[in-house]
Amino acid sequence: MSRISVRGFAVASATAVTSVGAVVGVATGAEKGDDSTANVEAAAADATLLADVPAGATAQVQTASLTEQADAQADAAHTDARKAAEEAARKSAAKAAEEKKEAAELKAAEEAAEKEREAAEAASRSAAESESASADAGDFAPQSSYSVADVQAMARQMVPADQYQCFSNIVDHESGWDYTATNPSSGAYGLMQALPGDKMASAGADWQTNPATQIEWGLNYMNDRYGSPCGGWEFWQANGWY
């Protein structure tokens, strides 16, 4: 017997008992002449109404209640899952943003370190060049004459090391390191073939006899006009003069 059937049987039995009691009560009350007859009739009516409720209707009510509970639980689970997914997405985005920030900071630090390294190397090169080319025309004692080797030795002490070869190339082509070289046509004079030659007086009055004075003037000229002896040599290669 199912749960619904048992409950229906119990209700029916109670109804029967109540009905019998009501009949007996009616008989007794009739004999005694009191008001219990009305009470018995009301109880019998209530029992009749309870007996009239179908078992299927009771089962439908219980099923609807269970369905509502299941739907409520499903909605709650869906809400919890959505909140969990949103929280996971928020944490993931925050982590990605933090990693991106750290990567950018690391890159900036590396670039700054690289710039500092390059600046230090440039300063070191500049210091080395200054030390290797710290001499000027006044540092050399005058001589009655100078060999090519003498003149080149002066130049190595006056011209920065990384510019010396370019400087030497120009002097090779202009005068062959002869500080008294004179162009018979134009009058250009000295190591640099300055035109006119007396322009070199800006470096010293002994421009005609002192190769150190000519080197100082030529180095200043190349730096002022071309930025460096190598800039002057590039121009010379392209034009055949400087």
> Is 125 inside any structural domain?
no
Give the residue from 33, 49, 78 where a domain finishes: 78
Q: Residue 119: which residues within 8 A CB-CB, separation 6 or more?
A: none
> Is 163 inside any structural domain?
yes
The per-residue pLDDT for 35 is 53
The per-residue pLDDT for 164 is 97
> Is 96 inside any structural domain?
no
> Is 37 inside any structural domain?
yes
- Backbone angles phi and psi of 177, in degrees to 5: 65, 25
The per-residue pLDDT for 106 is 86
The per-residue pLDDT for 122 is 63
The per-residue pLDDT for 53 is 52
> Is 220 inside any structural domain?
yes
Give the residue from 52, 78, 104 where a domain finishes: 78
Q: How many domains does the chain have?
A: 2
> Is 61 inside any structural domain?
yes
Range of the domain at 172: 137-239
Could you tell me if 20 and 52 are in contact, meaning their C-beta atoms sit under 8 angstroms apart? no
> Is 158 inside any structural domain?
yes
Is residue 143 located within the same domain as residue 217?
yes
The per-residue pLDDT for 179 is 97
Is residue 72 located within the same domain as residue 144?
no
The per-residue pLDDT for 126 is 54
Identify the CATH number of the domain in which residue 222 sits: 1.10.530
The per-residue pLDDT for 25 is 43
Give the residue from 35, 56, 78 where a domain finishes: 78
- Closest-CA residue to 143 (of 192, 193, 62, 209): 209
Is residue 143 located within the same domain as residue 218?
yes
> Is 97 inside any structural domain?
no
Is residue 227 located within the same domain as residue 152?
yes
Type of residue found at 179? Y
Mean pLDDT by 10 residues, the chain (242 residues): 44 42 42 50 49 61 81 87 90 89 88 81 57 75 94 96 97 97 95 96 96 97 96 96 91
Is residue 143 located within the same domain as residue 223?
yes
Whose tokens are 């739907």? That residue is 71
Is residue 152 located within the same domain as residue 221?
yes
Is residue 153 located within the same domain as residue 234?
yes
